[in-house]
Structure 1
Amino acid sequence: MSMTLQLVPELETKVRDAAKRDGIGPDVYVAKVLERHLHKQALIVSELEANLLAQINLGLSAQDWRRYYQLREKLEDETLQIDEHAELIRITDRIEIANAQRIEALIKLAALRRTTLDMLMDEFGLRPSANV
């Protein structure tokens, strides 16, 4: 592919000088600079995407989930003690906060990938649960 760029004179001079220092033509110099820049941008996006995926995957430990379900069962059986009720509320609050943070990360990731939240959730097999 061929491309013509219109540069302001000052920038053209800088490009020509830099290319001359590197011992290459201005067109090759510009192509190399653009390639480095685009590669760097791709790495930044990849790092951001990795961070968002890590946030999406954060959650309670298996032990906390077991305790949550034990307490829920006691609640349904009406055998939940007062201190256990407070514990259930604390765990439920942590679940809600984690889910809100997960949704926020999903929204950012959907925007980064230029897709909708629904499509991204489908891609990840995520659907709201009626249990929590």
Structure 2
Amino acid sequence: MQITMELPADELLKAVEQLSLPDLEQFVQQTVRLLARRRAPVLPRKEAELLLKINQTAPPLDLQARYDELAAKRQAETLTPGEHEELMHLTDQLDELNVHRLEYLAELARLRQTSLSVLMEDLGIEAPAVV
């Protein structure tokens, strides 16, 4: 026996807003996988794989938030030496993720015979911030 329940999207979003950051990240990853599986029959396999890789290399929310916090402190010139070291480490991590993500995006743009900027706009992806 299977029970199906319809939940309006706005109610689902309200429930998702209540999730902790780790649970939200897990939910997003699972949702991305679900989306990739559903699109798979309509997308060529290589495109589906690239979309999954693109989403998997998006910076985790907590990592990006900490980076933004430390970057603001650097701008305000209130960064401690320990925080400066942490900021350099986070910068390296984010740079590595962004490089891989851009490689996957460029490959997908080539497959779709479009420009990188048009593809990113179509996917709702903003260019990484440069600080």
The residue that corresponds to 2:94 in the other structure is: 95
Supply the distance in 1 between the matched residues of 2:110 and 2:128 (Cα, whole angstroms): 24
2:103 is aligned to 104
TM-score (norm 2): 0.58
Q: Which residue of 2 is the match for residue 56 of structure 1?
A: 54
**For residue 18 of structure 1, what is the aligned residue in structure 2?**
none
Q: Give the CA RMSD over aligned residues.
A: 2.2
Scaled by the length of structure 1, the TM-score of the pair is 0.58
Of 116-125 and 47-56, more deviation after overlay is shown by 116-125
Q: Tell me, which stretches of 5 or more residues in structure 2 are unaligned?
A: 1-39
Equivalent position amino acid for 1:47 in 2: R
Q: Give structure 1 stretches of 5+ with no counterpart.
A: 1-41
What's 2:44 paired with?
Answer: 46
Q: Describe the superposition over 1:98-125 as per-residue Cα deviations: whole angstroms up to 9, x where unpaired.
A: 1111111111101111222232122123
Say if 2:67 is the partner of 1:68.
Answer: yes
Are 2:115 and 1:123 equivalent residues in the alignment? no
**Bigger radius of gyration:** 1
- Distance in 2, matches of 1:110 and 1:77, equals 39
CA-CA distance at 1:51 after TM superposition = 1.6
